[in-house]
Structure 1
Amino acid sequence: MPSHPTRRLPAALLLAMLAVLPAAARAVDLDRDGLDDALEDALLARFAPVVVLAPDEPVRPASAPWVLARAALETAPGPPPRVLQASALGALAALVIPGTEEPGARLRLAAGAQAGSSDASDWTAYGHAFRAPDGGVLLQYWFLYPFNAAFWAFDHDGDWEHVTVRLDPAGRPLGAWLARHADAQPGPWFAWGALRREGDHPVVLSAHGTHASYASPDDAPPWERLCPEAEPARATTAGCAVWRPAAPGFGGVVNVGERAAPRVAFLAWPGRWGATGAFGRDSHGAPPPGPAFQRGWCSEGAPGACP
């Protein structure tokens, strides 16, 4: 029998199939956000960004399990202080110890963990799909870098960055918001035609050390360093690593669900993803919390889209 290449269903057809299926025939909506889980997973994989890292990037991406395996979990300030393995997040051991499930709790990374993983199979994108006000779908991609390493006065542990792709009600991509530093709710908007793309995947340039997202080298301010080549095929020859989350050899796109009904245990944890803040100081407040506790979470979503 002749072999044929695998063909993906168009996003519009996926949405149309969802609209006509009887409710009983639809996949389970585990995160209770009104979207079919199988549809969420398919769309998140289809439109996952291609991330081009800067040359000599000092901090590589990682997965949440990779970070948690290399960190201690410290309880919120106040007696009695407790420390346990961070991999216990979401487990009964963490839930029954006072102070672990509070915003003041934090991770303390082990020596060497701030540099991230040198193994690309650990580079995982965390996806969040939710309803847009016009009936379309918003696809948010969160990237975890263990450290922001650029300007010592502004550095911190736990560098969560994100990009949000917007689909219209027919499943057509309209564009994307690229978050960067304080402008992350959801960030500057770029129409689909203005973005460099690799198939259905928008190409994003990650700034050296800060990991802020830019559409092209000309898009960044002078103090940011980016890969000089925005074309992924040429970026590697310029010494820039290319991260394709949905491609083989990388960590994939993990659907996190919603804070009230998480599909990964860490999503509902309100603590900080590090202990080092500005000027290298020990801090309970400078490192950021996880995606669901950041102001960019659910930006531009429909009312009640993110339970």
Structure 2
Amino acid sequence: MRALLAGLLLAGLPMAPATSASVPATLTPYVYLAPDEQNKPVDAEQFVQHSALKWSHSAPCPSDHQLAGQGAVSAAGLGGGSYQHQKKGGWPGCKDSGTYYRSNDRVRPHEIGARDGMYLDLDNGRRGVGSTSAPVYYEYEAKNFITYWMFYPYNNGPLVQNHEGDWERVAIRLDANDKPVTVAYFGHGGSCVKPWASAPKSGGHPIVFSARGTHASYPREGDFPTALGFSDHTGKGAVWQTATAYDARTRPWFRFGGAWGEVGESTHTTGPGGPGAKNPAPDWAAPACA
């Protein structure tokens, strides 16, 4: 025990919090933010609280419709499909017509047709609000995998990679005894995997390096080329211990199918879909991490 405590102190990491023996609590990641990270993680409920819910229309009908104002958006309504809207019928007239899309359908703009779709529009003044006390969210399937989702209010990447909202993740493959076997890190060049035995850890918690601005997940410090024409950069800044972990599937917003963030000119500059709109299990046959 003394050797373990000494190792933690030398590494500059906080000691693991007192938790139950449950898998979600014992495997929460320790996330190193980049030294100059300006957009720290945030509670997803706070993002909803400080956002308006809107429906985006494609040109030549550019006027967006507000479905609920800031402070009035119901997280349960988002996930439960209480909000709905129609596409425009097109020029001339731009009348609402056709199928009603609900908030728990796949309604992210640029996915159901050009800019059409539903999105959370964050108060711009809240983009830089975040801290290492934010919770992490998980999806757990016993004897199979656990995926930890990390949420940031703003992705401040290079080139065309700026957008509100940023859901990132790391996943752990579990064996028949619920013991960790493999870790998958989700970077912008695709995911990569490391055996649990060689993955960086602190007190049994996997260590993750979050790229500056983009928050993509990597297993070490350094520069990582991406398929989008830029490199991600990681380093040892503040440590986000993710001491608070919530089951994502029990959160009221989980089934929201729209964008977590305003609409851009392309899918890359539009807020991402949330955990409920994505497959939580990674490709375990992904390449080994460099």
Deviation at 1:96, TM superposition (A): 4.3
Aligned: 1:224 with 2:235: no
Q: Contact between 1:116 and 1:145, CA under 8 Å: does it hold in 2? A: no
Task: Give me the whole-angstrom Cα distance separating, in 2, the residues matched to 1:286 and 1:90.
Answer: 23
Q: How does 1:1-307 map to 2 (within 5 A)?
A: 9=21, 42-75=22-55, 77=57, 81-85=65-69, 87-91=73-77, 95-99=81-85, 101=103, 102=105, 103=107, 104-117=117-130, 119-121=131-133, 123-131=134-142, 136-181=143-188, 183=190, 187-218=191-222, 220-221=224-225, 223-227=231-235, 235=236, 240-246=237-243, 252-257=244-249, 263-277=250-264, 281=265, 286-294=270-278, 296-299=279-282
Q: Distance in 1 between matches of 2:82 and 2:148?
A: 31
Q: Does the Cα contact within 8 Å between 1:50 and 1:245 map onto a contact in 2?
A: yes
Separation in 2, partners of 1:212, 1:7: 27
Q: Assess if the C-alpha contact under 8 Å between 1:65 and 1:87 holds in 2.
A: no
**Distance apart, 1:172 and its partner CA:** 2.0
Q: Deviations over 1:175-226 (max 9, x none)?
A: 200011262xxx2011112211111101000000010111112473382221
Structure 2 alignment gaps of length 5 or more: 1-17, 86-101, 108-116, 285-290
Mapped to 2, the partners of 1:64 and 1:94 lie a distance apart of 16
Q: Would you say the 8 A contact 1:69–1:87 is kept in 2?
A: yes
Report how far residue 53 of structure 1 moved: 0.2
Residue range with higher mean Cα deviation, 77-86 or 150-159: 77-86
The one-character-per-residue Cα deviations of 1:59-117 (angstroms, maximum 9, x if unpaired) are: 10001111111111113538992331363132399844422514111011102222231
Letter in 2 for 1:91: G
Separation in 2, partners of 1:147, 1:286: 11
The alpha-carbon deviation at position 7 of structure 1 amounts to 8.7
Distance 1:93 1:178 in 2: 27
Judged with a 3 Å threshold, the aligned counterparts in structure 2 of structure 1 residues 72 and 216 are, in CA distance, closer, same or farther, namely same
Tell me the SS of whatever aligns to 1:166: strand
Does the CA contact (< 8 Å) of 1:130 and 1:298 recur in 2? no
Give the whole-Å Cα distance in 2 for the aligned partners of 1:285 and 1:56. Answer: 22
Mark the runs of 5 or more structure 1 residues left unpaired by the alignment. Answer: 1-5, 10-41, 228-234, 247-251, 258-262, 302-307
SS at match of 2:232: coil
In 2, are the aligned partners of 1:275 and 1:282 still within 8 Å (CA)? no
Is the contact made by 1:88 and 1:94 (CA closer than 8 Å) also made in structure 2? no
Query: How many positions carry a matched residue from both structures?
Result: 231
Identity of aligned residues (%): 27
CA RMSD between the two structures: 3.0
Distance 1:285 1:213, change over 3 A: closer
1:139 is displaced (CA, Å) by 0.6
Mapped contact 1:148–1:211 kept (Cα < 8 A): yes
CA distance in 2, matches of 1:191, 1:59: 30
Letter in 1 for 2:156: A
Looking at structure 2, the residues matched to 60 and 7 of structure 1 have their Cα atoms a distance apart, in angstroms, of: 24
Aligned 8 A contact 1:51 1:205 in 2: yes
- Deviations along 1:147-172, whole A, 9 cap, x unmatched? 11021412222110000011211222
